[in-house]
Homo-oligomer: A and B are copies of this chain.
Amino acid sequence: MSVTGTRPAGRPRSERAEKAIVDATLDLIGEGASVSELSIEAVAARAGVGKTTIYRRWANKEELVGDALATLKAPLPVVAGRTVREDLVAYLDVMRQDSLHVRTRCIMNIAMSDQERHPRLYERFHQTAIEPRRAAMRAVLERGVATGELRADLDVELAMGMLTGTMLWYTKAASHGGALPSPDLASRIVDEALRGFRSAQA
């Protein structure tokens, strides 16, 4: 996406405005605004642009918020080719690191909780941010099954749910005032899960 791309000096004014609008949107959500409460007026005021500048780029609030949320997801680490364990730890640790940022947590809550009211927003967020990560983790597990490192009868979807769900459980608890996930949490989850996932001969 152009809003996250780096460019040499001379970035056109429209691109600077776009970045200011996305930042303003994230700021307001990070300060606690729900999607329903967020107004294009408030975003425009915060970004120092006119409403028409926003409407030139985004048809409505949901699309703006969806694009803004998508810029927050750290790119997935490049992991293909190492052991299943290392790859899974790397992916889960991205989730842990994301959860340490208050703004990200605030915004993830929005993305998840406002879905019943803003289905298009959730759909967009799902496609741009969640599904690529799921596909990457699925590929690691399927590779493990193919090489025999993991059980031939492993239910890959269930395994993904166990790994991701456990990390979410801890990061969610942290966002509700519990302890922050410890730096080794990803490896502890993966090691515990792999006890069951590994094939007998691995």
CB-defined interface of A103-120 with B at 8 Å, one 1/0 digit per residue? Answer: 000100110110111010
Determine if B188 and A192 form an interchain contact, defined as CB atoms under 8 angstroms apart: no
Given A119-B177, A158-B189, A196-B195, also A169-B168 (CB < 8 A):
yes
Q: For chain A, give the interface size range.
A: 35 or more
A79 contact set on B, CB distance < 8 A: none
Interface hit among A1-9, A17-25, A159-167: A159-167
Given A162-B192, A165-B167, A196-B196, also A176-B126 (CB < 8 A):
yes
A residues near B (Cβ < 8 Å) are: 32, 34, 36, 106, 109-110, 112-113, 115-117, 119, 122, 126, 155, 158-159, 161-162, 164-170, 172, 175-177, 188-189, 192-197
